[in-house]
Structure 1
Amino acid sequence: MKGREILIEPLGGGGLAAALRVDGRLEDLLIDPPDSDPMPRPEAIYLAKAGRPMKGIGGIILDLGDGASGILRGGKLPEPGRTLIVQVANWVEGGKASPLTDRPLLKGRTAILTPGAPGNNIARSIRDDERLDALSALASEAMEGASDNLGLILRSAAQDADEAEILGEISALRADWENVESKAAQGEPGLLRPAPDSGDQGWRDWFTPGTTITEGKRALAEAGLWEDIAGLLRPEASLPGGAFMYIEPTRALVAVDVNTGRDTSPAATLKANLAAANALPRQLRLRGLGGQITVDFAPLPKAERRKIETALRTALRQDGIDTAISGWTPLGNLELQRKRARRPLSELKSQIA
């Protein structure tokens, strides 16, 4: 199928699966953990109570209620016993405390509300002066009467959205924040605003004008996507020209090994490495992998490293998940540091049909 399509399917364990398909190829994937999963989810907002400081790592453990906990690092830490509003920042491995931030963000498709960061801002990708003026006026109108401590960012999607949609979304986000503050005033640690499910997040982050949305009990199945998803649980990922790479998560890092396959021509190594650099962000995104990524490219001279980095940076710009290229190790591996924005697909096997 040509074009852009979002497919959303309910899951047997609760929650949803959402997939983005572009010109017939799976480009992005979100799968909710089962309802029984107790792990705090990124973007969820809690009222937390400060517990014991962790001086060795510059943080403090916070009680999130119902047996959940997280860790807040950096800056001026709260005194033990104090309550504060926090948001889950990333997924973590089982047994670790969830990383938290005391600067929550309420995200919509066209706008982001920024409690604690006042001021109205517009995405830098919007450069048309006339549209910038119109959006600036719209932001001022939408935030009229808001608290001095409340800010707003208009996202790239605002460029093509109509004013009614933007105003409606900002109004809804402001109402959500008022509800968060009202619940927090009750003083007991606990969930104040749940994380968006995969359907809401997929629509928010993937929808563009002209996108088709298909929802139903077998939306992904009828599109043949569960077979593609099952393939992502295997370490091998094919690359053009017969090359391939193995992507294997461990507890410490994600190891990626690039191989040229049967091609033994002089240009095979560079072609395989460039193909891997182009494909890696998509593979990490679909597999839900983050943290430290170590890539063992097929043997290459140092003179070709810049070409690999350039190709990888270009692919990462289209990825949408914060990833930093840390550099080359003495053994010739390339290291990346990637935000743990997704739950690893390998931990969601029970949700995969």
Structure 2
Amino acid sequence: MKGRCIILDHLQGREAAALMVDGRLDDFLIESDAPTPGTIYRARADRPVKGQGGMFLTTPDGSAFLRQVKGLAPGQLLLVQVTGYAEPGKATPVTQKLLFKSRYAIVTPDAPGLNLSRSIRDETERDRLLEIAHDTIGDAPYGLILRSSCAGADADEIAEDIARMANLAHQVLNDTGSEAETLLDGDGPHLLAWRDWIEPAEIVTDTEGFAQHGVLDAIDLARGAMEPLAGGGHMFIEPTRALVAVDVNTGPDASLAAGIKANLACARALPRALRIRGLGGQITLDLAPMPKKDRRGFESALRAAFRTDSEETALVGWTPLGHYELQRKRGRPALGGPSK
């Protein structure tokens, strides 16, 4: 099936959303029991962590950890936002830099000013969007970012989205409670799909949509360790407690160029494979053998592949043993192992 298709359904009783591109699963979101990124708490400072410049906080959903703390005393109340999913047994990561994010607009209380997505280059369109923003938000004390989805969008829809996020920010920032409390829940999979999957697509909301569009088969494949690569190679993606190990193999190809071909295929396929599996943290690539002179080409291909990925990923570099390391934000829950 050609084209893009967004399927909104449930998997094992949990809300989920799948993005199929030309009949292949390109992205997958599923509800989790853990606090969702974007959730905003009024939290209470608990105890500092000496040597790390951080502070453990108390929230309604358990312990949270805030980095780069200055001037914060135990017992103090503060607003924080969940930034990602915690490793098992660890505190939820949070930040004091709040973002109110929707399909068209991001309101930034801590960063005043009006900004447009750099992908919107047409000057006439930029002027139109700036006029909409100024007319809607006026002299509000909050910053505003207009996302790439604004390009060509209806002016009333953009204005409504800006106003809604600005009002939401005002409500949260002016809440006067005196106890630890959840002030805003993060977006679920269906709302995230509407917010972030902005390219034109067919929308399917039918019951059993996952089964009818091949999503269940694709998920079963992603729950396994092996990911096939273009050209006949494959890679094994195996999460451990310490890191995610990725082992690249050339398959039946025994030519002199087999290693670089498999590694380039890995570079192109890796963002999607990690995204669907919901994997983050430290990632170590055990690549197929290739000459050192080919490393630069591999790095360029990897950088290009991650440039448009939805999760923030740092390309760390080579280890003395010849492995390549990444550091990836835990922006979504792990898909988990094979279904029973």
**Interval of TM-score (by shorter of Structure 1 and Structure 2):** over 0.9
Show CA shifts across 1:139-184 (max 9, x none).
11121252x2x111001111121111110111111222233235x3
Contact 2:55 2:66 in 1 (8 A): yes
- The separation in 1 between residues aligned to 2:215 and 2:105, in whole angstroms, is 31
Q: 1:55 aligns with which of 50, 55, 66?
A: 50
User: SS of the residue aligned with 1:240?
Assistant: coil
Equivalent residue number for residue 221 of structure 2 = 231
| Structure 1 match to 2:261 | 271
Do the aligned residues in 2 keep the contact of 1:20 with 1:26 (CA within 8 Å)? yes
Letter in 2 for 1:41: T
Question: In the aligned structure 2, how far is the partner of 1:198 from the partner of 1:64?
Answer: 23
Partner of 1:188: 179
Residue 165 of structure 2: aligned partner: 173
Which residue pairs with 2:112 in the alignment? 118
Q: After superposition, give the CA deviation of every residue in 1:16-63 in whole Å (9 maximum; x if it has no partner).
A: 110011111110000112xxx2x2221111110111111122101111
Q: Which moved more, 1:316-325 or 1:248-257?
A: 316-325
> Corresponding residue for 1:133?
127
Q: Is the 8 A contact 1:46 1:85 kept in 2?
A: yes
- 1:51–1:61 CA contact under 8 A, matched in 2: yes
Query: Structure 1 residue 316 and structure 2 residue 277: aligned?
Result: no
Give the TM-score of the pair, scaled to structure 1.
0.93
| Mapped pair 1:212 → 2:211 | no
Identical-pair percentage: 49
**How far apart, CA to CA, are the structure 1 residues paired with 2:298 and 2:71?**
41
1:85 maps to what in 2? 79
Q: Tell me, yes or no, if the aligned pair for 1:10 and 1:216 is still in contact at 8 Å.
A: no
Aligned counterparts of 1:302 and 1:93: Cα–Cα separation in 2: 34
What is the CA–CA distance in structure 2 between the aligned matches of 1:152 and 1:196, rounded to whole Å? 19
The two structures, once aligned, show a CA RMSD in angstroms of 1.6
5+ unaligned residues in a row in structure 2: which ranges?
A: none
Matched, 1:7 2:13: no
Tell me the residue number matched to 1:65: 60
The residue aligned with 1:96 is 90
Hey, which bits of structure 1, 4+ residues long, moved more than 3 A?
none
Q: Deviations over 1:187-228 (max 9, x none)?
A: 2211111010000001111022x3111113211111121111
CA 1:12–1:303: 2 relative to 1, 3 Å: closer
Q: Distance in 2 between matches of 1:154 and 1:312?
A: 28
Give, in whole Å, the separation in 1 of the partners of 2:135 and 2:59: 35
Distance 1:163 1:83 in 2: 39
Which whole-Å CA distance do the structure 2 matches of 1:304 and 1:310 have between them?
10
- CA–CA separation in structure 2 for the residues paired with 1:95 and 1:12: 24
Question: What is the TM-score when the length of structure 2 is the normalising length?
Answer: 0.96
Given that residues 7 and 19 in structure 2 are in contact (C-alpha distance below 8 angstroms), is that contact kept between their aligned partners in structure 1? yes
Q: Does the Cα contact within 8 Å between 1:10 and 1:16 map onto a contact in 2? A: yes
Determine helix, strand or coil for the equivalent of 2:51.
helix
**Aligned equivalents of 1:217, 1:328: Cα separation in 2:** 47
Q: Is the 8 A contact 1:59 1:77 kept in 2?
A: no
In structure 2, C-alpha distance between the alignment counterparts of 1:309 and 1:302, rounded to whole Å:
11
